[in-house]
Amino acid sequence: MNWIIFISIFSLIIGYGISFLGYLEIISIPDLAKKFIKISNRVSIGCFVVALAITVFWPKTNRLKWGISKNQLELKIAPIENELRKIEKESGGKILPDSKLKRVEELNSKAAELRKNYSQGNLTPPLKSIPTKPATWIFQIKADPEVIIVAKGKGVNQAPLKEFNLTYFSKTDKELRFNYKTSTGKLVDVLLDKKKPDDTHYFGMADLPDPPKGRKMMLWLKKGGEGFEGTTLTWDGVRWYPTVSAFLKKS
């Protein structure tokens, strides 16, 4: 590393020395040489900065790595040393039986392996990959404030947001099908399809199991972003609720 710094400093001295002599008009420097000296000076400064940074910071990183390994070595080797001291104390200076001798050899071998790993910097465990959580689909029904006000004027209590986790989802070019459970735990089966191949929206009607009896939902959805978006209408057996936004999206 020191030789890199030496070359950088030497290049700086030569480059700036020639430039200074040219400035004093002691020597004549052609334009091409001036450009070369200018580039050489910049490269020399860059090399010097990089070499200095490596010299200053790399040992700190290295010391940190070895410090972590040393702490791990002490933690891992402490139980081994404790057991060896215990065996020595129990023997009372007498010859150990074969079973104890075998155990001492195993412990010494394990300690030697740990010290070898420490000397090679291999005690730090590799980072564990975190498994990605599988995406789940949700069905959302959203009503704008203006829609809620209009609905209230007609005696309809329109919720601003309803959200359901899907229990089933499938899609083809012609059909879109999904299931979800209502707040009462009842299953809703929704099947939408395209009447023509060039239709942009999937359309269908689903029965809603919660009272009052005869409730239905009409739904139009088209591809949007990573999911689907559109509109929906609800029939409660007497009247249609206002048109609100509907979404199928990944959570």
Q: Which residues contact 175 (CB under 8 A, 6 or more apart)?
A: 191, 192, 193, 194, 202
Q: In which residue ranges of the chain is pLDDT below 50?
A: 1, 23-27, 32, 60-61, 63-64
* Rounded to 5°, angle at Cα 146 from 142 and 149: 100
For residue 146, what are the contacts with CB-CB under 8 A and spacing of at least 6? none
pLDDT of amino acid 178: 95
Closest by CA to 189, choosing from 208, 211, 164, 172, is 208
Tokens of 54: 């490596």
- pLDDT at 85 (0 to 100): 86
- The SS3 of residue 209 is coil
- pLDDT given at position 63: 47
Query: Which pLDDT score is estimated for 1?
Result: 46
pLDDT of amino acid 236: 80
